[in-house]
């Protein structure tokens, strides 16, 4: 080792060295249907208008009070109840990390009456819940869903009683299974939770139900959403609503300028044109119906119903079908190794009518 070099193997945490980096697939030149993005771009006239708006932004200054205009606009858009407040993250990914940081208290498990520093979520689910726990040095408790991807009520309640988690994540709808949950089971989980419950509504624009009109019943339930699936995945803007006093505490761990001037100006602009994005979401929901119907007509493919802009399917050989589709220029997500319950499953993002037709053709040829 030369002078000045350091042995990073000794400097970097052992658990970080053992981790895999979050894998982003190379999608150059592909029909990209792997990450639940909105396939529609901003209409050309709005692009020019937004360009002017962004050009006029004071890039020389730190983000200022205008970020609060976005907080208020989002609260109105989401119909946040009285007594609640809203905080913003650089994507909901950041909010998930900040929550783990804020809840890192040394609790004790069963018997103490105090929540332990653990995070609990059903599996298969969104990977960031587990990752945020691990990076913060917290325990992660993954509770398997039933084989038909419903919440396992008995297993959830038993795990909550045993581990007394500080945070429970309920993705509503779930990723990658795309379904909503039985409301009665959600109520029992919320009632049994000794800590916080986060309803993660990332896929709300495509869902038939939301928890927004029920959060005010509780003092320990937070509702998280993102502008990503709405149509601004590139902007990175997530938001979380909860009782005022609770949000005030969590917000203290947020880096002060986490939302750039460009992020908030884009998000404000998008909300001023919410009807454009609502029409895009409506198109995606309509295309989802067409896609699911076509998939259900394939006898070798098992298709689950979806409340999101993705459809989970099981094929006879996921690796073969995934590679076959990729070689035909269509990129989806092979989730078959993510969890034992997902054997031979692929996750298909709902695209435009044309993209979905290409995806279906590639899928059929690759079975
Ligand atoms: N929650 C769920 C359930 C997700 O699937 C995702 C992303 N795929 C996120 C949160 C994070 O979204 P973002 O960071 O883009 O806001």
Determine whether domain 8-44+275-366 maps to CATH 3.90.190.20: no
**Do 287 and 33 touch, CB atoms closer than 8 A?**
no
Predicted pLDDT of residue 22: 78
Instruction: Give residue-wise pLDDT tens across range 96-147.
Output: 999 999 998 766 655 666 777 899 999 999 999 999 999 998 999 999 999 9
Nearest one of 74, 86, 79, 92 to 36, comparing CA atoms: 92
Cα 50 from chain centroid (whole Å):
26
- The model's confidence at residue 306, banded by pLDDT at 50, 70 and 90, is very high
Instruction: Report, as an integer, the average pLDDT of 9-28.
Output: 86
In this predicted structure, what is the pLDDT of residue 282?
97
- Determine which residue's CA is closest to atom 5 belonging to ligand 1: 175
User: Do 233 and 208 meet the contact criterion of CB atoms below 8 Å apart?
Assistant: no
Identify the residues whose C-beta falls under 6 Å from ligand 1: 36, 91-93, 126, 171, 175, 200, 202, 226, 228, 233, 238
Q: How far is the CA of 202 from the centre of ligand 1 (A)?
A: 6
Provide the residue ranges of all domains of the chain, joining segments of one domain with +.
Answer: 8-44+275-366, 61-273
Q: How far is the CA of 112 from the centre of ligand 1 (A)?
A: 33
Nearest to 229 by CA among 290, 270, 192, 186: 270
Q: What is the pLDDT of residue 108?
A: 63
Q: pLDDT by residue (tens digit) across 29-55?
A: 999 999 999 999 999 999 999 999 999
Q: Residue 329: left if φ>0, alpha if ψ -120 to 50, beta else—which one?
A: left
Q: Return the best residue to mutate from 91, 92, 94, 178 for the ligand 1 pocket (most ligand atoms within 8 A of CB).
A: 92
Q: Which residue has the higher pLDDT, 158 or 2?
A: 158
pLDDT at 257 over 90: yes
C-alpha distances in Å from residue 275, one per residue of 56, 212, 350? 24, 20, 20
| pLDDT over 90, % of the chain | 88
pLDDT tens-place string over residues 78-106: 999 999 999 999 999 999 999 999 998 76
| Mean pLDDT (whole number) for 248-270 | 96
Mean pLDDT of the 210-233 span: 96
> What's the token pair of residue 296?
């259900």
Q: Is the pLDDT of residue 2 over 60?
A: no
C-alpha 92 to ligand 1 mean position (Å): 6
User: At residue 250, does pLDDT exceed 80?
Assistant: yes
- For ligand 1, the distance from its centroid to the CA atom of residue 275, given in whole angstroms, is 22
Contacts for 136-142: CB closer than 8 Å, 24+ residues apart: 136/97, 136/100, 136/101, 136/104, 137/104, 138/100, 138/103, 138/104, 138/166, 139/163, 141/165
Distance 177 CA to ligand 1 centre (A): 14
Mean per-residue pLDDT of the chain = 94
Number of the ligand 1 atom closest to the C-alpha atom of 93: 14
d(CA 181, CA 68): 33
- Position 3 scores a pLDDT of 59
- Specify the ligand 1 atom closest to the Cα of 92: 16
Decide which of 3.40.920.10, 3.40.1500.10, 3.40.640.10, 3.60.15.10 is the CATH code for 61-273. Answer: 3.40.640.10
How many whole angstroms from 160 Cα to the centroid of ligand 1? 24
Structure tokens at 147: 């084989």
Indicate whether 18 pLDDT > 70.
yes
Going from the Cα of 242 to the center of ligand 1, the distance in angstroms, rounded, reads: 18
Ligand 1, pocket-test mutation among 202, 223, 259, 347, most atoms within 8 A of CB: 202
- pLDDT given at position 1: 52
Q: Which atom of ligand 1 is nearest to the CA of 227?
A: 16
Segment 310-346, tens digit of pLDDT? 999 999 999 999 999 999 999 999 999 999 999 999 9
First to last CA, the chain: 52
Residue 34 CA to ligand 1 center (angstroms) comes to 13
Instruction: Using the structure block, give the residue that is written with the tokens 């993209």.
Output: 355
What's the pLDDT at 126? Answer: 97
Q: For ligand 1, what atom is nearest to the CA of residue 226? A: 16
Report the C-alpha gap between 295 and 316 in whole angstroms: 14
């Amino acid at each position: 080792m030369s002078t000045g070099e350091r042995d990073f193997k000794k400097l970097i945490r052992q658990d970080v060295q053992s981790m895999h980096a979050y894998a982003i697939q190379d999608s150059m030149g592909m029909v990209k249907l792997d990450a639940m993005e909105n396939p529609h771009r901003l209409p050309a006239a709005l692009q020019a208008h937004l360009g002017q708006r962004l050009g006029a932004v004071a890039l020389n200054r730190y983000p200022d009070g205008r970020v609060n205009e976005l907080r208020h606009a989002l609260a109105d858009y989401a119909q946040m109840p009285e007594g609640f407040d809203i905080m913003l993250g650089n994507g909901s990914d950041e909010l998930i990390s900040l929550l783990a940081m804020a809840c890192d208290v040394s609790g004790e498990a069963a018997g103490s009456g105090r929540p332990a520093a653990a995070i609990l979520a059903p599996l298969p689910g969104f990977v960031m819940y587990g990752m945020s726990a691990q990076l913060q040095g917290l325990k992660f408790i993954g509770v398997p869903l039933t084989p038909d991807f419903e919440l396992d009520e008995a297993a959830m309640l038993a795990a909550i009683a045993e581990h007394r988690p500080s945070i429970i994540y309920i993705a509503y709808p779930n990723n990658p299974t795309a379904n909503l949950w039985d409301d009665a089971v959600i109520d029992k989980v919320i009632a049994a939770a000794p800590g916080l419950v986060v309803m993660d509504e990332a896929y709300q624009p495509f869902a038939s139900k939301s928890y927004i009109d029920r959060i005010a019943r509780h003092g320990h339930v937070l509702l998280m959403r993102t502008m990503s699936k709405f149509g601004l995945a590139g902007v990175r803007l997530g938001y979380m609503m909860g009782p005022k006093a609770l949000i005030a505490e969590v917000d203290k761990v947020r880096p002060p300028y986490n939302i750039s001037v460009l992020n908030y100006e884009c998000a404000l602009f998008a909300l001023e044109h919410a009807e454009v994005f609502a029409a895009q979401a409506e198109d995606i929901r309509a295309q989802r119906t067409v896609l699911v119907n076509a998939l259900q007509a394939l006898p070798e493919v098992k298709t689950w119903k979806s409340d999101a802009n993705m459809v989970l399917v099981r094929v006879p050989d996921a690796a073969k079908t995934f590679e076959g589709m990729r070689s035909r220029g269509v990129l989806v997500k092979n989730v078959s190794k993510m969890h034992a319950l997902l054997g031979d499953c692929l996750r298909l993002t709902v695209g435009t009518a044309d993209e979905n037709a290409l995806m279906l053709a590639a899928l059929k040829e690759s079975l």
